[in-house]
Amino acid sequence: MVSGTLSKKYPSYFEWDEGLVKEDYVVATYYIESSTDLKSAAIGIAREQSAADWEFMGDREREYGSDYAARLMDIQALGTTNVPKLDSFALNTPVYEHESKGEQVFNKGIIKIAYPQRNFDTSFTNMMNALAGESHRLGYLNAIKLIDADFNPGFLKAYSGPKYGVEGIREKLGIGPRPVFCRSTRPAVGLKTEDIVRMAEECLTGGYDIFKDDELTCDTSRSPFTERIKSMVQAIDKVETKTGEKKLYIANVIDDEDHMHELIDAAAENGVDGIIFAPIMNGCGLMKSVAAKKDLLMLSHNSYIDVETRHPEFGIGYPLWLKMQRMCGGDFIMGPVTYGTPFMDQKGHQEVIDACLGDFNGFKKALPIMAGGREAHDLPFYLKVNGGSPDFMLIVASALDHHPQGMTAGSRAFRQAWDSIEKKIPMEEYAKDHSELADVLKK
């Protein structure tokens, strides 16, 4: 149900009581703008996302049912705006009083609402339905963004976080503290398996660590999934023998759930190292389940998530989304497209770092991913904005394809650029004896 106005009945059932136990609740933080006062709007969200209405119940039943009501905990007013962002509306239902509206001024603020865990137990899907299921379509809200959630111990006990995480990935690759280099299939569609294998062999031979399917590389007649993964596992073995370095292959299993399970089983049975999930489409709950059952690295992809995160005042905050993927088992997690670019300020970078690499319930660190237009000569910048930590993965395609000496040389250029940083030799100086890097610096 949705509305542009709110009932004022029984507000105490939706306000925090100091006699309640905070550890029994998941506390959500929202940014909101509303045509009504912030308290009424916040109680309206708490009402809508839990009991909705007590009207048909007597006093005793209301008191009993109040254990299941979401509760407003805190309000921080941030002034007003008269800029309309969403269409306001009101529904004429018995649940809500109808009020006429003139020219609107919207109150802005940060609110915290506590949701009783007893409403959803440890289910990720039901938790998200409680925190955000219908709140974003309430007619009296001009803006609403779920920006954080404080998960209580009773909820988190069902979550294990990454099975491998940063240290496990490094152990599998046999590498120390440096960025992980990954190539994605490009073109993403239309290639035969033999073309994908050749691409993988060239970039991995040059020094890249991981080859992954693109999120759009599906199970097709041009490159059937089982044929592709078997060929890729053989290619990985071949390159490892040739280079003496450990390499990994990550296969795309994004699909409808029934076929997805077939792909996951095939990957696990044929020696694939990891799989690509799109949790905003396939569900974090499913990723959590697969991560627990399969001995596979989990690459949590950002397909479709910008629909939910990109608007600064609507949807869900990206740092929270990163944290959720980590708790559900993501070993690698795609950062926002602006992560590792000048388009994100240091505060934004720090939020990514904290979500993936910071302390969180004892979970292992997840490796954040930078992707999109990455260049070898920009490695010092990537390192700087990541707080000086080499705990990140670069996914690069175009820079390898466009290297004048070819893809293998393009891969070597990235490793050479990192070597210059590690050895504390200026990149221009180091490039004098490394032609692959020198070609990159000429651009």
Same domain? 104 vs 199:
no
pLDDT at res. 63:
58
d(CA 8, CA 6): 6
| Domain limits for position 130 | 11-156
- Answer yes or no: is 297 within a domain: yes
Same domain? 318 vs 363:
yes
Same domain? 110 vs 213:
no
- Answer yes or no: is 1 within a domain: no
pLDDT at res. 104:
78
**Final residue of a domain: which of 156, 183, 204?**
156
Beta bridge partners of 252: 276
Same domain? 222 vs 152:
no
**Final residue of a domain: which of 156, 185, 217?**
156
pLDDT at res. 237:
98
**Final residue of a domain: which of 117, 138, 156?**
156
pLDDT at res. 88:
73
User: Are the beta carbons of 364 and 332 closer than 8 angstroms?
Assistant: no
Helix (H, G, I), strand (E, B) or coil at 169: helix
Helix (H, G, I), strand (E, B) or coil at 134: coil
Of 431, 437, 305, 442, the C-alpha closest to 369 is: 305
Sign of the dihedral through C-alpha 264, 266, 271, 276: negative
d(CA 39, CA 412): 58
Same domain? 170 vs 127:
no
pLDDT at res. 11:
74
CATH number, domain at 57? 3.30.70.150
pLDDT at res. 426:
97
Same domain? 142 vs 281:
no
Same domain? 371 vs 417:
yes
* Ranges under pLDDT 70 in the chain: 1-9, 52-65, 89-103
Same domain? 100 vs 198:
no
pLDDT at res. 12:
79
Instruction: Return the number of other C-beta atoms located less than 10 Å from residue 116's C-beta.
Output: 20
CATH number, domain at 307? 3.20.20.110
User: Are the beta carbons of 279 and 308 closer than 8 angstroms?
Assistant: no
